[in-house]
Amino acid sequence: LTDADIDYLLESAHLYFPESRLTRKDIVAAFAGTRPLIGSSKPGVKEERLPRDFEIISVPGAMVSITGGKLTTYRRMAQKVLDRALAECLPGTDARPCATISPLLASTPGEAGADSPAPPPELLRLLADRYGPDHHRVLEIIRQDPSKARRLTPGLATLWAEIDFAVAHEFVQKLSDFLFRRTMIFLCAEGNGLDLAEPVARYLGKILGWNEARVRNEIERYQQEVSFYSVR
């Protein structure tokens, strides 16, 4: 994200929300991605005139890549590239049809079992909105240890139980996986979650079997990521 990008976004915010009086001091973090538009390397072609189509490129029996596209077609893109990968790299595989046509994760809070006390409604809603039908798995973690229903910090709606869930079901292997890529802590928490780095690293360390050197290394690596991405 460049200084010009930040100025542009602040000017737009002031235009639509003049009472906000936002300045650079109000920015916690910034993140920008690169749109992989097909044909963007052609000289003299303006970005807004390039198509948002996607293209699949493959080396039969080796690798299948996809480029282009847009967020609103990502499920269709996933279906197409998986179908191509199965056909070219694993011909004859007896695989079930691609499931991207099924609904996205969504859920309404379920009821507690007969032998379990009903969780607070606000906890049910938070987890159902965040995890869909998987919210029962987080509730089970809390049922086994009610202390894990605590928030990581009072001003942040992220629970200790979510760390357990992220390790068990979302492939979290590093501190930055959780603070940066599985939650919005880096982008939304005051100070980019630096004050949480050590307690969360030690919690992860107990689950994943880290020694003290690994814990310190994870904290330092997260500090480096924050320094790289934060707006100063």
Tokens 């202390």 locate to: 147
Q: What are the tens digits of pLDDT across the range 59-111? A: 876 788 988 888 888 888 998 988 888 888 777 777 777 777 666 665 566 65
**Residue 190 or 98, more confident:** 190
Give me the pLDDT at residue 110, please.
61
**Residue 116 or 14, more confident:** 14
Quickly state the pLDDT bin for 232 (edges 50, 70, 90). low
Q: What are the tens digits of pLDDT across the range 13-22? A: 999 999 999 9
pTM of the shown model = 0.72
Tokens 């906890």 locate to: 123
